[in-house]
């Protein structure tokens, strides 16, 4: 994990993370894989879907959660317990 992400996890006031929302099982699956550091190609292979489908899921996650970047999406996943920081 980069120093910037570590700082954001340790000091959550540096980034405003939106409140929890209800996600579908597939959205949780994609969110967990993204926040775990997997790229679109790897996620597509793991789930046997196309890379463009992964991209659509990513956009839908951004909209559902109300974020606009990967860092905030990842922080959301950590805060909500979808992934753990080790």
Cα dist from 49 to 33, 40, 43, 45, 86, whole Å? 14, 10, 8, 7, 29
Q: Give the CATH number, domain containing residue 31.
A: 1.10.10.10
Helices 51-65 and 70-79 meet at what angle, rounded to 10?
A: 70
Instruction: Quote the number of domains for the chain.
Output: 1
Is residue 8 a part of any domain in this protein?
Answer: no
pLDDT digit string, tens, across residues 68-83: 999 899 989 998 899 9
CA-to-CA separations, 75 to 5, 34, 35, 39, 45, in angstroms, rounded: 8, 11, 8, 17, 24
Domain that includes residue 85, residue range? 24-86
Q: Is residue 16 part of a domain?
A: no
Instruction: Establish if 80 belongs to a structural domain.
Output: yes
Residue 60 lies in a domain: yes
Any domain includes 56: yes
Residues 31-60: tens digit of each pLDDT: 999 999 999 999 999 999 999 999 999 999
Q: Give me the pLDDT at residue 2, please.
A: 57
pLDDT of residue 86: 77
The verdict on residue 81 lying in a domain is: yes
């Amino acid at each position: 994990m980069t120093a910037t992400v570590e700082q954001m996890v340790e000091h959550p006031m540096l980034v405003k993370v939106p409140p929890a929302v209800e996600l579908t099982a597939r959205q949780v699956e994609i969110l967990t894989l993204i926040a775990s550091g997997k790229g679109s190609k790897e996620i597509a292979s793991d789930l046997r879907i196309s890379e463009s489908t992964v991209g659509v899921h990513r956009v839908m996650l951004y909209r559902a959660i109300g974020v606009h970047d990967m860092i905030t999406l990842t922080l959301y996943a950590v805060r909500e317990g979808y992934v753990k920081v080790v």
